[in-house]
Amino acid sequence: METLPEYTLAQLALRNGTDKPEIWVAFRGDIYDVTKSKLWRNGKHYEHWAGQDLTPELDDAPHSEAVFSKFDVIGKVKK
């Protein structure tokens, strides 16, 4: 199994669709690339912003964590 790269929260924050072209979000320690999602245009999805850990925000979402299975895990949040 391939080891995924680790990124700090500061590195994740740069992948917000503005500072860098990538749009990434984290959930439960995994980092997902949502760049190709039409729902994450300009780094925003409803009231959620890319480049951050969305784990605590899922309780307010109208969907389950299964939504993350649509995206590739491209890294891990560095502890």
Q: What is the pTM of this model?
A: 0.87
Nearest residue to 52 (alpha-carbon basis) of 12, 20, 18, 79: 12
Q: In the predicted model, is pLDDT for residue 62 greater than 80?
A: no
> Alpha helices, DSSP H only, in the chain?
9-13
Q: Does residue 47 or residue 74 have the better pLDDT?
A: 74
Please give the CATH number for the structural domain made up of 6-77.
3.10.120.10
* Per-residue burial over 24-33, b = 16 or more CB atoms within 10 Å of its CB, e = otherwise: bbbbeebbbb
CA distance 6 to 77: 6
CA distance 7 to 57: 20
pLDDT digits 0-9 by tens, 8-54: 999 999 999 988 889 999 999 999 999 999 888 888 777 778 999 99
pLDDT band at 63 (very low <50, low <70, confident <90, very high): low
